[in-house]
Amino acid sequence: MLVLKCSMKLQMLEKMLKWSFPESLKVYGAVMNINRGNPFRKEVVVDAWPNFKAVITRLQRENEMDDLDHYTNAHAVFYKELQAYQDLLENTNAVNWGQIFQIQGLQDGICEISRTMALSKQVDVKISSFQMVIYSDPDTLPDVTLQMDPKLTLTYLDISHASLLSKTWSRGGNLRSQKYLANLICCFPSVCVLDDNGYPLSWSLTDQFATMIHGYTLPEHRRKGYSRLVATTLAKKLHSCGFPTQGNVLETNIPSITLLKSMNAQFLPCSFFRVIHTPFHFLAKSHL
């Protein structure tokens, strides 16, 4: 196992990962952020260099603090050989099996290996899958010229909005999710529609893997075009920064799927997987 710290090697890795789109998209987004200031304090682990067969991005070990925070304890994974990925997890300290953490990626083997290793590592595994989308060409994004109420403002989210975002996020509603969302707001691009009191009506933000997440409009303000405006504006913003604009959506979320199709999003053939690993001794904790 190697931890890549050399900036030249990390730049090389970013270019190499482009050869394996779309499966490498999650890792690619994380590496891009590392190479552009590393706002979320991530690092890269590979099985070998330069002929790597598996790569994992993780929180820098010196910054690990909360073993119960699976939001921040998030890993992106890409492998060229499944066995190399399993060996990296099984025989090294690439991940901390003593904490609650998540693994994200676009390859079926990620779920397979987590299930295989769950008992021996004494962890519970919870798997969620989503449709993955990208906006491959900014020129295909619709021209959004919405005549908003002059009292409304199209702008960026503020850290003070984190509490509302956490309450309305399907994975939120707790102090750890609120802290995580506040960090995202500080570190990465976001877009929102504010009323004249500075209260968000619709929003979308970017996560640590350069993925558009938590697109949401308050129920009383839906069907006014705000979601499309916010999502399109953020997608163009990410494109202007050089990032591949990517997102994911549940197959049952028909309104969001309809919105994405109206934005000419490309639905990828591979699914996006999020695997949350919880050590057995944490399962009985009431705060989880």
Model confidence pLDDT, tens digit, residues 211-253: 999 999 999 999 888 998 999 999 999 998 888 889 999 988 8
Q: In the prediction, which pLDDT does 143 show?
A: 74
Q: Is the pLDDT of residue 280 over 80?
A: yes
In tens, the pLDDT along 49-85 reads: 999 999 999 999 887 679 999 999 999 999 999 999 9
Distance CA 98, CA 70 (A): 12
Q: In the prediction, which pLDDT does 156 show?
A: 96
Q: Is the pLDDT of residue 147 over 80?
A: no
Peptide bond between residue 150 and the one before it cis (omega within 30 degrees of 0): no
In tens, the pLDDT along 152-168 reads: 999 999 999 999 999 99
Q: What does the H/E/C string look like for the chain? A: CEEECCHHHHHHHHHHHHHHCCCCHHHHHHHHHHHCCCCCCEEEEECCCCCCCEEEEEECHHHCCCCCCCCCCEEEEEECCHHHHHHHHHCCCCCCCCCCEEEEECCHHHHHHHHHHCCCCCEEEEEEEEEEEEECCHHHCCCCCCCCCCCCEEECCCHHHHHHHHHHCCCCCCHHHHHHHHHHHHHCCEEEEECCCCCEEEEEEECCCCEEEEEEECHHHCCCCHHHHHHHHHHHHHHHCCCCEEEEECCCCHHHHHHHHHCCCEEEEEEEEEEEEEEHHHCCCCCC
Same fold yes or no, 2-131+273-284 and 138-267: yes
Q: In the prediction, which pLDDT does 202 show?
A: 96
Q: What is the CATH number of domain 2-131+273-284?
A: 3.40.630.30
Q: In the prediction, which pLDDT does 145 show?
A: 67
Domain ranges of the chain: 2-131+273-284, 138-267
Q: In the prediction, which pLDDT does 283 show?
A: 87
pLDDT confidence of 287, banded at 50, 70, 90?
very low
> What is the percent of the chain where pLDDT is above 90?
78
Q: Is the pLDDT of residue 288 over 60?
A: no
Q: What is the pTM of this model?
A: 0.92
Strand partners, 69: none
Question: One-letter amino acid identity for 83?
Answer: Q
In tens, the pLDDT along 122-131 reads: 999 999 999 9
CATH superfamily name and code, 138-267: Gcn5-related N-acetyltransferase (GNAT) (3.40.630.30)
In tens, the pLDDT along 96-146 reads: 999 999 999 999 999 999 999 999 999 999 999 999 999 877 777 777 766
Q: In the prediction, which pLDDT does 7 show?
A: 96
